[in-house]
Amino acid sequence: MTLLCASILVRDPAQARRDLALAAEAGAEIVELRLDRITDPAALTPVMDRAGVPCVLTCRPTWEGGESALDDAERLRMLESLASGRGGYVDVELKTVQRVDGSALPASASLIISAHDFAGRPERLNNLLLEMDRSPATVQKIVWTARTIRDNLEAFEILRARRKPMIAFCMGEAGIISRVLAKKFGSFLTFATIRADAATAPGQLTLDELKSLYRWDAIGPNTRVYGVVADPVMHSMSPAIHNAAFDAAGFDGVYLPMRVEGSYESFKAFMESFLHAEGLDFSGLSVTIPHKENALRYLSERGDEVEPLARRIGAVNTIIVDRSPRRIALRGINTDYAAILDSITSALQIGRDDLKDRRVAVLGAGGTGRTAVAALAHCGATVVVYNRTLERAKALSKKFNGKSGKVVAAPMEKLCGSCCDIYLNTTSVGMHPKVDQSAFGVAPPKLTSGSLVFDTVYNPMKTLLLKQAEQAGAATISGVEMFVRQAAAQFEAWTNLKAPMTVMREVIERRLGS
């Protein structure tokens, strides 16, 4: 069992008492009291007496990333005085253990012996582990700052190879997955904070994030691992929607943010290491900016299956990993295009074939514009691409014109004279924080009650563009619809279960509404 440990930087007894109560209420099973700033340990005795949860006492010196300027003997004396008669754990740095006499180590509590590297992977990682083996540790702890997401895999290997209780994880944004998957790999504990502004180390999640967002209570040794690969990634709402869907369906999976820097080489290195990581059960990916083209190239080079329209669009946004004892087979699909088509056909209550009778204005010629144009043209629609940079619109129309439907390009200034049935905004105009902008600009096209306006922007849920459309009596589709549909299709591709779309929609609407 992996304990959920709240780490609390103690400033004074009253604050420690409050934070201990908050930690217990939020589900912490053990609490680390960081005593770096404490000069009068006796004042903490009443707090310790009523802690209510087991404690790890730590007084981290400045030379190991903490704040305490006390020397080894003073720190060890303080730890022993507070542990005496109470048991629990004390955390002492390996370097301290190596230079003091064994009799100076706290005897009243179990020893966690730790090594931290805030700069990156310790050069002496393997030696440190050997030295810990020779130390009197009850629990060994090794922590470093992840340079890339791949560093986490070494922490998992250390946990898998442990001979005694072990804590091994990576700090920083790239290390977040090791804090969550600590439970899958049987770490002794994982650290969390009661509030984001009270974190005691980089990348520490809140107790609430671990439990509510990352399914802490449901994670076990066989939990399958999914994620969104992007750069940047922490703004993504995909972990919220997919973990809620796994929860609702009772599916044994967890979905994590995976930041991978933009180059093809980085993407390939990430895939190769994660696919083959022992015990990880890496089972699927959402792929977004800047990796959709990288994903297509990677699957093509491996000779894996890519859905034909994803290939034509030039972008894969979903990877399904099929593990058989003989080989790992991957499949690449694009759930964005189906989400765009299904959002439109369900709003109009028509079939995809009926789109051949519709004229659609696609605003934008970036990645989403390209996906929309390919999908609509594939169904035989007549598409007019309006874009700020006309050359991009022309290139797009040239690529997809005549495949099934007709595609032409037009300058944005001509939009006001357009007479389409459907207006689909794929530009980022109107997106938070620039919510007072509309992709229609100052001169919207003439809309009627028969028009449909679809904004792929989902933050805010109701953009200025959608408000203008409503005022003109047109029907509207918000970007949330597309976001939920593309995620639901990913969920179904990974799990073979029906996606709990109502739950998924509620999660996103709640997040966007708050």
- The answer to whether 364 contacts ligand NAP (rule: CB under 6 A) is yes
> By CB under 6 A, which span of 159-167, 320-328, 387-395, 400-408 interacts with ligand NAP?
387-395
- Asked if 304 is an active-site residue, the reply is no
Comparing every residue's Cβ against ligand NAP, the nearest one is 366
Instruction: State the CB neighbour count (10 A cutoff) for residue 39.
Output: 11
- The answer to whether 368 contacts ligand NAP (rule: CB under 6 A) is yes
- The answer to whether 486 contacts ligand NAP (rule: CB under 6 A) is yes
Distance CA 313, CA 196 (A): 40
Q: In sequence order, what are the residues at sequence separation of 6 or more whose Cβ sits closer than 8 angstroms to the Cβ of residue 463?
A: 425, 430, 431, 435, 438, 455, 457, 478, 479
Tokens of 417: 């004279």
- Asked if 141 is an active-site residue, the reply is yes
Residue position matching structure tokens 């929860």: 247
Nearer to ligand NAP, 139 or 466 (CB): 466
> By CB under 6 A, which span of 181-189, 198-206, 217-225, 478-486 interacts with ligand NAP?
478-486
- Phi-psi domain of 460 (left: phi exceeds 0; alpha: psi -120 through 50; beta: other): beta
Tokens of 410: 């037009």
- The answer to whether 389 contacts ligand NAP (rule: CB under 6 A) is yes
| Strands lying side by side in the sheet with 328-333 | 253-259, 224-230, 282-287, 318-323, 328-333, 305-306
**In the complex, minimum distance from the CB of residue 339 to ligand NAP, in angstroms, rounded to a whole number:** 6
Nearer to ligand NAP, 145 or 427 (CB): 427
Nearer to ligand NAP, 57 or 244 (CB): 244
- The answer to whether 396 contacts ligand NAP (rule: CB under 6 A) is no
502 touches 480 (CB < 8 A): no
Fill in the per-residue mask, 13 to 32: x = in contact with ligand NAP (CB under 6 A), - = not in contact.
--------------------
- Asked if 268 is an active-site residue, the reply is no
* Nearest residue to 149 via CA among 10, 2, 257: 257
- Asked if 292 is an active-site residue, the reply is yes
Q: What is the DSSP string of 480-501?
A: HHHHHHHHHHHHHHHHSS---H
- The answer to whether 392 contacts ligand NAP (rule: CB under 6 A) is yes
Per the DSSP assignment, residues forming a β-bridge with 113 are 92, 140
**In the complex, minimum distance from the CB of residue 456 to ligand NAP, in angstroms, rounded to a whole number:** 4
- The answer to whether 387 contacts ligand NAP (rule: CB under 6 A) is yes
- The answer to whether 355 contacts ligand NAP (rule: CB under 6 A) is no
- The answer to whether 239 contacts ligand NAP (rule: CB under 6 A) is no
Which residues inside 242-301 make contact with ligand NAP, applying CB under 6 A?
A: 289
306 touches 320 (CB < 8 A): no
Size of residue set near ligand NAP by CB under 6 A: 24
Of 482, 504, 507, 508, the one binding ligand NAP (CB under 6 A) is: 482
The beta-carbon contacts of 121-128 under 8 Å, at least 24 apart in sequence, are 121/147, 121/151, 121/154, 125/154, 128/94
- The answer to whether 407 contacts ligand NAP (rule: CB under 6 A) is no
* Catalytic residue list: 116, 141, 292, 336
Binding site for ligand NAP (CB under 6 A): 289, 336, 364-369, 387-389, 392, 426-429, 431, 456-458, 479, 482-483, 486
